[in-house]
Chains A and B, each alone.
Chain A
Amino acid sequence: MANKIIAWIDHRFPLTSFIKHELTGYPTPRNLSYWWNFGFLAGIVLMLQVLTGLFLAMHYKPDAAMAFDSIQHIMRDVNYGWLLRFMHSTGASAFFLVIYIHMARTLYYGSYRAPRELMWWTGQGLLLLLMATAFMGYLLPWGQMSFWGATVITNLFRATPFIGDQVVVWLRGDYAVGDDTLTRFFALHYLFPFLIIGAVVIHLVALHSVRSSNPSGIDLADKDNIPFHPYYTIKDFYGLGVFLMAYFLVVFFFPHSVLEPANNIPANPLITPDHIVPEWYFLPFYAILRAVPNMVGGVVAMGLSVIVFAFMPFLDRSRIPGGGRYRPVYRIMFYLFILDILVLGYVGYVPPTSKTIIIGQVATFIYFGSFILLPFISKAEDKWLFKRGLPPKILALIASEEQEIAKRGKR
């Protein structure tokens, strides 16, 4: 009976071949480490956010006079409303953590290299969408930090040439952040996840065309690939179990650690909080914004600091696969860059003093300097490593990659 139904469907829709092509027969490198779990985790967090957000939207009121109260209504009166809300607020942080690890893995192993540039760029688009969604979602509780965070960030659009002031009014729907801003941010916060889902589909279609990268940095021969299902489905689900433990530990025991105390005070346009701090996942970019004394310059620097990752496929001139794994200089650069981001995060977190401003400016120089110097450093490193003589393992990898490319050319 079941076979008959499947046959009936297959006659009209490529069900069996789809499952075979994308799951049971989808070849995946067998040497993937647990760092390759985070794309799957990001997908799960996206679904968690969409689902909890759907139910929160059923009880939330996007109205300046009612928003704050409606959050407390969710927290206190709605059955398990506190669980929905804490899952959603913790989920936002979890989403960024997972995405940042996913990006760090790509950078470390050089997974952005040909032929995966489009994966990297669709991922970059996803990051921008995620940032926009998180930013708009943060206004919705209508607390002090919601209000002032949105005020500061929308105000940055004044840097737009010629029409800056109009752009700000257009974004806010008013001359200041207010009821109109809240309502439109709610509408957009509901819309953007669907754009994200669309972009994820493109990301996955590209993935299934170029297939997963792997720690060796080259496309492995067929014998070193295994079907995604069951090997990676079970590995991903085991990783999911570990992730959910950490996630629910925060949700049930430390949910307030991701919430700002000042955001438990209702928005008040007349009182500015002492320190306006963005959420942790924006801190490094915020530090770069503040490091440039001029506002327009700061906005440009902040925008560039996010976009600049897109240039990685062009900036990395090395011919050696495997990224940081086989390239000592690149590896050191990677760790310094991560350290630099942590320093920037700290600088973005503390109230500015003359000392932290200097530290922030130095860290900003190192941030952009890493990208600007990368073409030269990677080229020089490549030359140095080839001159010194590569270990046979890497030579074999490079040879095997050339073979693969040649084979592909023939096809």
Chain B
Amino acid sequence: MSPTFAAENKLEKFQTDTSVIAVERGVDTFMNACHGCHSLKYVHYRDLARFGIDKERIATWRGDSTLDSAMTSLLSDEAALQSFGKVPPDLSMIVMAREGGASYVFAYLTGYYLTPEGMTSNHLFPLTKMPDALEISTATDSVKRSEIMEQAHDIVSFLSWAADPQKAERESLGYYVIGYLIILTVLLYNVKLQVWSKLKT
């Protein structure tokens, strides 16, 4: 509801793919590229299992952590402060916490470029402390770039699911509730007509 983010107009509309396969690929890339620094403290490994991802696959990601533990990063706040000067934000809600949502996060991840001076910067967030984790700024050939775009797409799909894991359940329940209300309202309207027809004009 807040004022339009200046960059939002330029954001390409992101098509979230919250199929199990896409999310599973997203988790895999996330564990390799992001989880070293970023936590997902509201997401537990068991949530992935409940979503439909294979438990053996989850075992490869969680290492020594139990299935019930949260997907927290091993990087301590102190170490992060020393390396980056900032504690990397928890990403559980990141898609919900930015104007533009998934479109913003996708544009941010793929927005890294090399300045003429050879420094890495970001179109969306020039002052970012995060390194170009997907290495898109140095990727020159188009095959490599589109591969990275795919990876970013999967990560953002996974993060979209992580921020709003009940979306599928909510919407499928929603159809029943709205359907029920339509029938109920039509019936009520007919009763209303019937009751009011008794009234002498």
Q: Knowing A252-B178, A261-B97, A350-B3 are in contact, say whether A82-B166 is a contact too (CB < 8 A).
A: yes
Q: Knowing A253-B174, A261-B101 are in contact, say whether A280-B1 is a contact too (CB < 8 A).
A: yes
Task: Say yes or no: B189 contacts A349, CB within 8 Å.
Answer: no
Question: Is A237 positioned at the interface, with any CB of B under 8 Å from its CB?
Answer: yes
Q: Knowing A76-B42, A238-B192, A242-B185 are in contact, say whether A351-B99 is a contact too (CB < 8 A).
A: no
Most buried by B among A75, A251, A261, A275: A261
Task: Say yes or no: A248 contacts B174, CB within 8 Å.
Answer: yes
Task: Say yes or no: B195 contacts A230, CB within 8 Å.
Answer: yes
Question: Is B182 positioned at the interface, with any CB of A under 8 Å from its CB?
Answer: yes
Q: Which residue of A lies closest to B2 (CB)?
A: A277
Residue tally, chain A, CB below 8 Å to B: 43
Task: Say yes or no: B3 contacts A258, CB within 8 Å.
Answer: no
Q: Which residue of A lies closest to B189 (CB)?
A: A238
CA distance A258 to B89 in the complex (A): 24
Question: Is B130 positioned at the interface, with any CB of A under 8 Å from its CB?
Answer: no
Task: Say yes or no: B3 contacts A275, CB within 8 Å.
Answer: yes
Task: Say yes or no: A262 contacts B97, CB within 8 Å.
Answer: yes
Most buried by B among A82, A86, A238: A238
Question: Is A30 positioned at the interface, with any CB of B under 8 Å from its CB?
Answer: yes
Interface residues of B in 162-188 (CB under 8 A from A): 163-166, 170-171, 173-174, 177-178, 181-182, 184-185, 188
Task: Say yes or no: B185 contacts A241, CB within 8 Å.
Answer: yes
Q: How large is the interface on B (under 10, 10 to 19, 20 to 34, 35 or more residues)?
A: 20 to 34
Task: Say yes or no: B173 contacts A245, CB within 8 Å.
Answer: no
Question: Is A317 positioned at the interface, with any CB of B under 8 Å from its CB?
Answer: no
Residues of A within 8 A of B2 (CB): 145, 260-262, 273, 275, 277
Q: B89 to nearest A CB, angstroms?
A: 8
How does the 8 Å CB contact mask read for B124-166 relative to A, with 1 for contact and 0 for none? 0000000000000000000000000000000000000001111
Question: Is A52 positioned at the interface, with any CB of B under 8 Å from its CB?
Answer: no
Residues of B within 8 A of A234 (CB): 188, 191-192, 195-196
Q: Which residue of A lies closest to B181 (CB)?
A: A245
Residues of B within 8 A of A280 (CB): 1
Task: Say yes or no: A265 contacts B97, CB within 8 Å.
Answer: yes
CA distance A277 to B192 in the complex (A): 43
CA distance A265 to B92 in the complex (A): 10
Question: Is A55 positioned at the interface, with any CB of B under 8 Å from its CB?
Answer: no
Task: Say yes or no: A231 contacts B178, CB within 8 Å.
Answer: no
Q: Which residue of A lies closest to B191 (CB)?
A: A234
How does the 8 Å CB contact mask read for A253-270 relative to B, with 1 for contact and 0 for none? 101111111101100000
Q: Which residue of A lies closest to B173 (CB)?
A: A252
Task: Say yes or no: B184 contacts A241, CB within 8 Å.
Answer: yes
CA distance A257 to B1 in the complex (A): 7
Residues of A within 8 A of B177 (CB): 248, 252
Q: Knowing A261-B97, A264-B96, A279-B1 are in contact, say whether A237-B173 is a contact too (CB < 8 A).
A: no
Interface residues of A in 54-76 (CB under 8 A from B): 69, 72, 75-76
How does the 8 Å CB contact mask read for A348-359 relative to B, with 1 for contact and 0 for none? 011100000000
Q: Knowing A226-B199, A244-B181 are in contact, say whether A237-B188 is a contact too (CB < 8 A).
A: yes
Question: Is B27 positioned at the interface, with any CB of A under 8 Å from its CB?
Answer: no
CA distance A253 to B1 in the complex (A): 16
Question: Is B93 positioned at the interface, with any CB of A under 8 Å from its CB?
Answer: yes
Partner of B178, one of A238, A248, A258, A264: A248
Question: Is A235 positioned at the interface, with any CB of B under 8 Å from its CB?
Answer: yes
Task: Say yes or no: A261 contacts B99, CB within 8 Å.
Answer: yes
Residues of A within 8 A of B97 (CB): 261-262, 264-265
Question: Is A153 positioned at the interface, with any CB of B under 8 Å from its CB?
Answer: no
CA distance A255 to B166 in the complex (A): 12
Task: Say yes or no: A252 contacts B174, CB within 8 Å.
Answer: yes
Task: List 25 contacting pairs A-B, 8 Å CB cutoff, sorted by A.
Answer: A76-B42, A76-B166, A145-B2, A231-B195, A231-B199, A235-B192, A237-B188, A237-B192, A238-B189, A238-B191, A238-B192, A245-B181, A248-B181, A251-B174, A252-B170, A252-B173, A252-B174, A256-B96, A258-B1, A259-B96, A264-B93, A264-B96, A265-B93, A279-B1, A349-B3
Residues of B within 8 A of A (CB): 1-3, 42, 47, 89, 92-93, 96-99, 101, 163-166, 170-171, 173-174, 177-178, 181-182, 184-185, 188-189, 191-192, 195-196, 199
3 smallest beta-carbon distances between A and B, as pairs? A252-B174, A241-B185, A264-B97
Residues of A within 8 A of B (CB): 30, 69, 72, 75-76, 82-83, 86, 145, 226, 230-231, 234-235, 237-238, 241-242, 244-245, 248-249, 251-253, 255-262, 264-265, 273, 275, 277, 279-280, 349-351
